[in-house]
Amino acid sequence: MKQKKAIVVGAGLGGMSAAIRLTADGYQVKLIEKNSNLGGKLNRREGKGFTFDTGPSILTMPWVLEQLFESVHRRLEDYITVERVEPQWRTFFEDGTQLDVTSDLPNMLEEMAKVTDKPNRKFTDFLSYSQEMYELCMKSFYKYSIQDLKDLKSHHKLKELFQMDPMSTVARSTHKHFDNKYLEQLFNFFVMYVGSNPYSSPAILNQLVYVQLGLGIHYVKGGMYQIAEAMGRLMEELRVDVQLNTPVQQLVVEGDRVVGVETEDGTVHEADVVVSNLEVIPAYRRLAPNSSKVKKETKSLEKKFDPTVSGLVLLLGTDKKFENLKHHNFFFSEDPEKEFKQIFDQGKPADDPTIYIGISSRSDDSQAPAGKDNLFVLTHVPPLANKKRKPIDWDQYREKVLDKLERMGMTGLRDSIEFEYRFTPEDLESLYGPNGGSIYGIAADRKNNGGFKIPSKSQVYEGLYFVGGSTHPGGGVPMVTLSGQLTADLIKEKESPKVKQA
């Protein structure tokens, strides 16, 4: 039988994961990427002896990467070294309170005692609640390409669906468990791993607390970009035909079936299936024919699926070390409700934003010269697509960020900067193509979409599938890597006749 051909558009983690899994299912795979390197948002930048991961800095659920490598009979540890990071986060509150988050439970309880009289019972209850959510997801969300509630129901008993706390939001549930402003703000922030608003995202996302505290957070030696390098090596071994610097211009369609893609140089590449790692909405807007069917689908998706937050990223190489900071640090806002309202409802950057600083050189000397720090500073801001959003003066906003950091303990930060580079939502959109420069794909919203994402199988064309942050199970390194695997399973199930095994 003739070997089937698959084309993957985009070499983000979702695209590479799909490409790897499709080879295991017998496809001859071509991966076409517009940029000059693999990894998409997982990227890196160097200057004046500093190295920065410019996208993800926190790795959770490394089992997803292990599972991908195992699916093609490889061991992840032969490609990268994954290490746990402890303490996981250092957090700073506006009133001077400082609290370390750690997976060492006795230590975590001691930390919590700084802000509450009786940390034990509340915390263990919350952790078991969060673990239960995670385990429910392991039965469905993390195993199959789920499309909607009907799909979800086919994997769970009614009792389990109620255990998912469907009537509650992340913030309502943390309030119920803690009724403590510090702990609510801290645990609500975990949902920013998927770029959503804790006040409107479904409570099931509180599982992210178990994902971090129970399963740990991790770093890849040599920098997170090593993950992209490892997948690149693996694709070479599997003979995936990788074409860099090759933007896809449009989908090639015959009737209601996608039969290939055309690249900007005019070449037509034929395929039995096309997998888009470009998000679903931009893929329909930019690559699909301008038909009434496509327009109708795009409009209906836009109504239901808002992009997640975008970000202002400052890469700062400093001539000294900020000794009080750990590998991962959060400088919280004074009023989180106001902060999220401004970003999500009013479409403007928060007056007082929460700021994340990652310093990979705390775990890895190779990332900064001796005695210096490589600061990855991320502030979440609304995506460009937010209709209410006005143009933003990024120079001014940078000053606000630096003012806050200096006020909260990073004395002399401005004067210490010897290397600086900046990414804005405009840069993220033009570099990787996500809707409005969205960092994590689609925002989970209990009312709008129930936390479901856009189906991985196109509702418009046969032979067209999606991977990455806008589709199931969502954004972030583990989720998009899982999406590649789950979409490959879906392709195997939907596309017939069965393909020849390689």
Ligand X SMILES: Cc1cc2nc3c(=O)[nH]c(=O)nc-3n(C[C@H](O)[C@H](O)[C@H](O)COP(=O)(O)OP(=O)(O)OC[C@H]3O[C@@H](n4cnc5c(N)ncnc54)[C@H](O)[C@@H]3O)c2cc1C
Q: Which residues bind ligand X (CB under 6 A)?
A: 9-15, 32-35, 40-42, 55-58, 247-248, 277-278, 311, 313, 378, 428, 432-434, 439-440, 468-469, 475-477, 480
The C-alpha angle with vertex 93 and arms to 89 and 98, in degrees rounded to 5, equals 55
Q: Which residue has 């990455």 as its token pair?
A: 468
- Contact assessment for residue 22 and residue 72, using Cβ atoms and an 8 Å cutoff: no
- Considering the complex, what minimum distance in angstroms separates the CB of residue 426 from ligand X? 13
**Separation CA 339–CA 332 (nearest Å):** 10
Helices (H), 32-71: 63-71
- Considering the complex, what minimum distance in angstroms separates the CB of residue 434 from ligand X? 5
Tokens (6 digits) for 439:
């960092």
- Considering the complex, what minimum distance in angstroms separates the CB of residue 32 from ligand X? 5
- Considering the complex, what minimum distance in angstroms separates the CB of residue 501 from ligand X? 26
DSSP β-ladder status, 28-32 and 5-9: parallel
Omega of the bond leading into 247 within 30 degrees of 0 (cis): no
Residue closer to ligand X by CB (options 180, 277) is 277
- Contacts of residue 216, defined as CB under 8 A and 6 or more positions apart, other chains included, come to 60, 84, 85, 88, 103
**Residue 127 CB neighbours (<10 A):** 17
| C-alpha of 200 from chain center | 18
Which helix (H) or strand (E) segment holds residue 138: the answer is helix 119-139
Letter string b/e over residues 324-351, b meaning 16 or more CB atoms within 10 A of that residue's CB: ebbbbbbbbbebbeebbebbbeebbbbe
- Considering the complex, what minimum distance in angstroms separates the CB of residue 131 from ligand X? 20
Residue closer to ligand X by CB (options 65, 410) is 65
Among 361, 380, 381, which Cα is nearest to 371's? 361
- Considering the complex, what minimum distance in angstroms separates the CB of residue 187 from ligand X? 17
- Considering the complex, what minimum distance in angstroms separates the CB of residue 415 from ligand X? 25
- Considering the complex, what minimum distance in angstroms separates the CB of residue 8 from ligand X? 9
**Residue 295 CB neighbours (<10 A):** 14
Which helix (H) or strand (E) segment holds residue 106: the answer is helix 105-112
| C-alpha of 339 from chain center | 21
- Considering the complex, what minimum distance in angstroms separates the CB of residue 61 from ligand X? 9
- Considering the complex, what minimum distance in angstroms separates the CB of residue 224 from ligand X? 8
Task: Name residue 406's amino acid.
Answer: E
**Residue 457 CB neighbours (<10 A):** 18
- Contact assessment for residue 48 and residue 38, using Cβ atoms and an 8 Å cutoff: no
Positive or negative: CA dihedral 6, 11, 14, 16:
positive
